[in-house]
A and B are shown apart, each in its own frame.
Chain A
Amino acid sequence: DAKTTQPPSMDCAEGRAANLPCNHSTISGNEYVYWYRQIHSQGPQYIIHGLKNNETNEMASLIITEDRKSSTLILPHATLRDTAVYYCIVRTDNFNKFYFGSGTKLNVKP
């Protein structure tokens, strides 16, 4: 199964961009990279996903390296409400099953 590696925690100043890295060196050509976040005791919330092109939506941007072995989630202007655990997930094969790693705890500080 494709695995992801993320730093356990990161700090970011409010109003600054938060750049969350993720390594997925064993990703296959047809596997997508998804990002979810989970605020304490709530269900995970979808943020963005991509295959090989960079993606942007109203929440974030996703930058995927050309070799697809790593990606970065960018929150352009972090707020205190962005404090959460961020999960980078590679969707494996054709089954609707996500493997959640430990994620990155993002602490946005005033």
Chain B
Amino acid sequence: KAGVTQTPRYLIKTRGQQVTLSCSPISGHRSVSWYQQTPGQGLQFLFEYFSETQRNKGNFPGRFSGRQFSNSRSEMNVSTLELGDSALYLCASSLGDRGRDYGYTFGSGTRLTVV
């Protein structure tokens, strides 16, 4: 079956702009989580969506937001981009039931460069 698909694969934006990243989870998966990976901070949790609702959130400013659609596809938006937002943004999907030992399947990520 198809894996987690993230688009675009690479992106270059200018400081102050906004950006939208897309993630299509594995068919049947209802949970989508987003992570930011930078050399200095490693992999950090941004937020998780389940059935179109944000279920969990990491410690990121309000410039980072997301949403999930009825088909479980998710988008992540970053407004007023800063140079420090340059990172690999990873999306992961899972079946999403709480209390179960489900792991994640990660996509290949979107490499965002802010100049």
Contacts and interface: CB of A to CB of B under 8 A. Distances in A.
Which residue of A45, A51, A99 has the most chain B CB atoms within 10 A of its CB atom?
A: A99
Which residue of A51, A87, A97, A100 has the most chain B CB atoms within 10 A of its CB atom?
A: A97
Contacts of B42: 100-103
Given A43-B90, A43-B108, A43-B109, A97 B33 contact: yes
A101 B42 CA distance: 7
Contacts of B43: 44, 87, 100
B56 A97 contact: yes
Which residue of A96, A97, A99 has the most chain B CB atoms within 10 A of its CB atom?
A: A96
Interface in B21-65: 31, 33, 35, 42-45, 48, 50, 55-56, 58
A95 B103 contact: no
Main secondary structure of the interface of B (DSSP, over half): strand
Given A43-B107, A96-B31, A32 B101 contact: yes
Interface string B90-104: 101010101101111
Interface in B64-112: 88, 90, 92, 94, 96, 98-99, 101-109, 111
Contact of B109 (A42, A99, A100): A42
Given A41-B111, A43-B107, 11 more contacts: A41-B109, A42-B108, A44-B92, A46-B104, A49-B103, A95-B55, A96-B56, A96-B98, A96-B102, A97-B33, A100-B35
Interface of B: 4, 31, 33, 35, 42-45, 48, 50, 55-56, 58, 88, 90, 92, 94, 96, 98-99, 101-109, 111
15 contacts: A32-B101, A34-B103, A36-B104, A41-B111, A42-B109, A43-B4, A43-B107, A44-B90, A44-B92, A46-B105, A87-B43, A91-B101, A96-B31, A96-B33, A100-B35
